[in-house]
Amino acid sequence: MEKRRLAVISNRLPIVLKKEQRGKWQIEPGSGGLVTALGPVLKNRDGIWIGWMGTNAEEEPAGPLLEDLIRRGTRETGYSLKPVHLTKEEVNKYYHGFSNEILWPLFHDLFSRCNFDLSYWPFYEQVNRKFAQAVVSNTDENDYVWVQDYQLILVGRELKRLGLKRQTGYFLHIPFPPLDIFLKLPWRFEILEALMEYDLVGFQTVRDLRNFVGCVRALFNYKVAKEKFMNRILRPDGEVLVGAFPISIDYREFEDLARTGEVAEMAWSIHENLPNRQLVLGVDRLDYTKGIPHRLLAFAHALECYPDMRRKVTLIQVVVPSRVDVEEYGNLKQEIERIVGEINGRFTEVGWTPIHYIYRSLPRQELVAYYKTCEIALVTPLKDGMNLIAKEYCASNIEEKGILILSEFAGAASQLHRDALLVNPYDRQRMADTIHAALRMQDDERQARMRRLRRFIKRHDIINWVNSFLHAGIARNLGDFPQAEFFVPSPNGGVGSDDE
Ligand SMILES: Nc1ncnc2c1ncn2[C@@H]1O[C@H](COP(=O)(O)OP(=O)(O)O[C@H]2O[C@H](CO)[C@@H](O)[C@H](O)[C@H]2O)[C@@H](O)[C@H]1O
Ligand SMILES: O=P(O)(O)OC[C@H](O)CO
């Protein structure tokens, strides 16, 4: 592939700016699959990453101090970091407001949670323009510009308005909703048109891709041509390539970590402290899309319906703090804690508590120890672009005894549906039955399923994801593009019909 410089544009930079207790500013490396995957590509291509540092411009350090911190970040990551500074009002209206009170719930089909506050849109436009200006100042026409996620849909449009010619790609990490939901958005035409300003647009699943193409056909009447596994949208003034690129994880990193002595020791001590029982694991960012209350209630229902589970099963629910300043997230935390309290109050016996609840961000090693040792993972979002926890659990489950119970509404189901046990998170009875069935599954079936899951994720890892996007985006090479499957649940458990 042609070696072009890569510029990644995302809401957050891969470093976090933190004020220590004594008031001194520090930077810490960000974590997550995107940073791991893009890091080597950016280093290799002398690339840059443009993003926000998660602070308000009024409060963050400035001048030489900031420059020094950024220089340090650049040295440590091995590629250039270019911060975009946002005022407190911009953070409120662009990030908390338009991104997280409108696009986030709407794109997760949770229309009733949207707050269509009219004052948010101008700030969404303004901040996207700021990001586009940062692209103008920091790139040249040979660079490939890759914009990430729902916070920055307008960057491609703003680049064109600024008269800038760049080859651009865009990847949406969250689902794209069906027409009837998308139509509710007061800015539906602007958002759809802006997405078509990129040269390549990637979605997590074929369903998201079809939802997008369905909206384009219905609202703009543009022709759509199929090419290999991609679609070409033919606009009057150009064309856009659109495709499904299911994101993945750094499989090797999780597997290697799971093999270390430290993780083995932690995993052993988890079971040692909770002896003679099977462990069921839930790990989620605190978010209403992750279906945590539904899952807790389904677990309680299982304890009710199947008394043989009592004293023999414990659910470990890890909730990672997220968007802590938003009232709705605070309310969700209280709701979860109330449900956990009620279930534990109702079922606890001497020597057995049904739910262990952890509310904090875990160090990676500890997280992998839970993945490695828990017999069942319950990954049951109401809707999720992909869900990396499902894949991380399998990569870390090196003894291959674990069972993945997965929501049909996670993007990951489109790839893992054959060997995970699929559930509808709104169907409490089936969830309870599935948990009970998983606990009784024989070792050879567990092993066969987990082995196939691991093999699949290893072959389709994050490196593969980056390469396939850049092959389509930079080299326009659609030949070796992996085909993603169209998945809907079917009555006999297979893949739904694919008549397009
Ligand atoms: N206790 C803990 N301590 C530390 N780290 C923890 C942790 N628990 C989880 N994490 C990390 O946080 C990440 C969460 O992954 P998700 O797929 O749930 O992403 P999220 O919804 O944030 O992002 C969006 O982007 C991703 C990637 O595209 C999509 O899968 C998803 O659907 C979309 O909503 C995982 O990589 C995990 O390792
Ligand atoms: O940047 P945050 O904290 O809003 O989290 C973003 C999530 O990972 C979803 O993309």
CA 173–ligand 2 middle distance (angstroms): 10
Residue 500 CB burial class (10 angstroms; 0-12, 13-18, ≥19): exposed
Characterize 25-55 residue by residue with b for buried, 16 or more Cβ atoms within 10 angstroms of its Cβ, and e for exposed.
eebeebeebbbbbbbebbeebebbbbbbbbb
CA 209–ligand 2 middle distance (angstroms): 22
Ligand 2 pocket check for 323: Cβ under 6 Å: yes
Ligand 2 pocket check for 12: Cβ under 6 Å: yes
Q: Encode pLDDT of 380-413 as tens digits.
A: 999 999 999 999 999 999 999 999 999 999 999 9
Ligand 2 pocket check for 361: Cβ under 6 Å: no
Q: How many structural domains is the chain composed of?
A: 2
Report the SS3 class of residue 90.
helix
Residues 395, 280, 325: CA angle, nearest 5 degrees: 85
Which residues pair with residue 240 across a beta bridge?
A: 233
Same domain as 477, residue 411:
no
Structural domain contains residue 497: no
Q: Can you list the positions of beta strands (E) in 173-229?
A: 200-203, 223-227
CA 341–ligand 1 middle distance (angstroms): 26
Structural domain contains residue 500: no
Same domain as 158, residue 17:
yes
Q: State the closest ligand 2 atom to the C-alpha of 95, by its place in the atom list counted from 1.
A: 4
Query: Which of 23, 25, 128, 38 has its CA nearest to residue 84?
Result: 128
Q: Residue 27 has what pLDDT?
A: 85
CA 426–ligand 1 middle distance (angstroms): 22
Same domain as 189, residue 204:
yes
Ligand 2 pocket check for 96: Cβ under 6 Å: no
Structural domain contains residue 113: yes
CA 404–ligand 2 middle distance (angstroms): 24
CA 292 to chain centre: 16
Residue type, 413: A
> What residues have CB less than 8 Å from 328, skipping those under 6 apart?
113, 288
Same domain as 236, residue 274:
no
Neighbours of 335 (CB within 10 A): 14
Cα(281)–Cα(420) distance, integer angstroms: 15
Choice from 100, 152, 322 to test ligand 2 binding pocket (greatest atom count within 8 A of CB): 322
Distances in Å between the Cα of 56 and the Cα atoms of 52, 89, 117, 274, 346 are 9, 9, 22, 44, 45
Same domain as 375, residue 417:
yes
Same domain as 359, residue 243:
no
Structural domain contains residue 498: no
pTM to 2 decimal places: 0.96
> What residues have CB less than 8 Å from 85, skipping those under 6 apart?
52, 53, 57, 60
Same domain as 178, residue 278:
no
Q: Residue 356: phi, psi to the nearest 5?
A: -100, 120
Structural domain contains residue 1: no
Same domain as 341, residue 329:
yes
Structural domain contains residue 193: yes
Same domain as 109, residue 14:
yes
Choice from 285, 289, 324 to test ligand 2 binding pocket (greatest atom count within 8 A of CB): 285
Pick the residue whose CA is nearest to atom 22 on ligand 1.
285
- Range of 371's domain? 251-459
CA 323–ligand 2 middle distance (angstroms): 8
Angle between helices 443-459 and 388-396 (to 10 degrees): 120
Domain CATH code at residue 442? 3.40.50.2000
Same domain as 480, residue 442:
no
Cα(350)–Cα(473) distance, integer angstroms: 59
In this prediction the ipTM stands at 0.96
Report the SS3 class of residue 495.
strand
Same domain as 447, residue 471:
no
Residue 384 CB burial class (10 angstroms; 0-12, 13-18, ≥19): buried
Do residues 356 and 269 touch, judged by C-beta distance below 8 A? no
CA 27–ligand 1 middle distance (angstroms): 21
Same domain as 384, residue 259:
yes
Which residues pair with residue 147 across a beta bridge?
A: 9, 170
Residue type, 408: E
CA atoms within 13 A on the CB side of 264: 6
Structural domain contains residue 121: yes
CA 152–ligand 2 middle distance (angstroms): 13
Structural domain contains residue 74: yes
Q: Residue 480 has what pLDDT?
A: 62
**pLDDT tens-place values along the chain, 500 residues long:** 667 899 999 999 988 888 887 788 888 877 666 777 788 788 888 899 999 988 888 888 878 888 898 998 898 888 999 999 999 999 999 999 999 999 999 999 999 999 999 999 999 999 999 999 999 999 999 999 999 999 999 999 999 999 998 999 999 999 999 999 999 999 999 999 999 999 999 999 999 999 999 999 999 989 999 887 789 999 988 999 999 999 999 999 999 999 999 999 999 999 999 998 999 999 999 999 999 999 999 999 999 999 999 999 999 999 999 888 788 899 999 999 999 999 999 999 999 999 999 999 899 999 999 999 999 999 999 999 999 999 999 999 999 999 999 999 999 999 999 999 999 999 999 999 999 999 999 999 999 999 999 999 999 999 899 989 999 998 777 766 667 888 888 876 656 555 56
Q: Encode pLDDT of 290-301 as tens digits.
A: 999 999 999 999
Pick the residue whose CA is nearest to atom 10 on ligand 2.
173
Do residues 173 and 215 touch, judged by C-beta distance below 8 A? no
Greatest Cα pair distance, the chain, in angstroms, is 71
Ligand 1, pocket residues at CB < 6 Å: 32-33, 173-174, 247, 283, 285, 318, 320, 361-362, 367, 384-389, 392
CA 387–ligand 1 middle distance (angstroms): 7
Ligand nearest to the CA of 412: 1
With the C-alpha atoms ordered 319, 325, 329, 331, is the resulting torsion angle positive or negative? Answer: positive
Q: What is the DSSP string of 398-425?
A: TT---EEEEETTBTTHHHHTTTSEEE-T
